[in-house]
Amino acid sequence: MRIRRRVRQDPGRDLSPAASAADIAAVRAAIVAARGAGDDVPIGAVVLSPDGTPLASARNAREELGDPTAHAEILALRAASEIYGDGWRLEGCTLAVTLEPCTMCAGALVMARVSKLVFGAWEPKTGAVGSLWDVVRDRRLSHRAEVVGGVLQAECAALLEDFFHGQRGNRTG
């Protein structure tokens, strides 16, 4: 007997509520941050205070800093934590990012007590908010964030597609 697995194009589409105007604006701000990534994969993140004021934005900087933890989400969370709350708790805040977070970034936003995550493109290879795992909404954890995924998905995916197309075009040999 064979069991067939059905793969969904948007893994968490049935888990995410509809995006609000504020969610769309937040992802647009993350897209702006991503565009400054240079040689790094163009992923951007923005942390917003509970009233919607931007606290910090960042872009991937792994290549630039030679740091495997320099993901846009981690850098934005660190910067926001310096100016908001008690130094590490970001309760009431929203994290907007252009790509579904990986396990490291999903774990960090849970540990920072971020209240809401809004992201653009789904990441079927490493996504930890519905694609491969769902760290952010795991009922075993003491904190779970609200999640809105797939916001401006086509625009966010285009950033990555253009970057990787350029990378393939620049290969020699």
The overall longest dimension of the chain from CA atoms, in Å, is 58
d(CA 136, CA 146): 8
Q: Is 156 annotated as a binding residue?
A: no
- 8 A C-beta contact, residue 43 and residue 127: no
Catalytic residue numbers read 73
105 among annotated binding-site residues: yes
For the stretch 10-35, what's the b/e string if a residue is b when 16 or more beta carbons lie within 10 angstroms of its beta carbon?
bbbeeebeebeeebebbbbbbbebbe
Is residue 143 annotated as involved in ligand binding? no
For 103, residues 6+ apart whose C-beta sits below 8 A from its C-beta are 126, 128, 133, 135
Binding-site annotation, residues for Zn(2+): 71, 102, 105
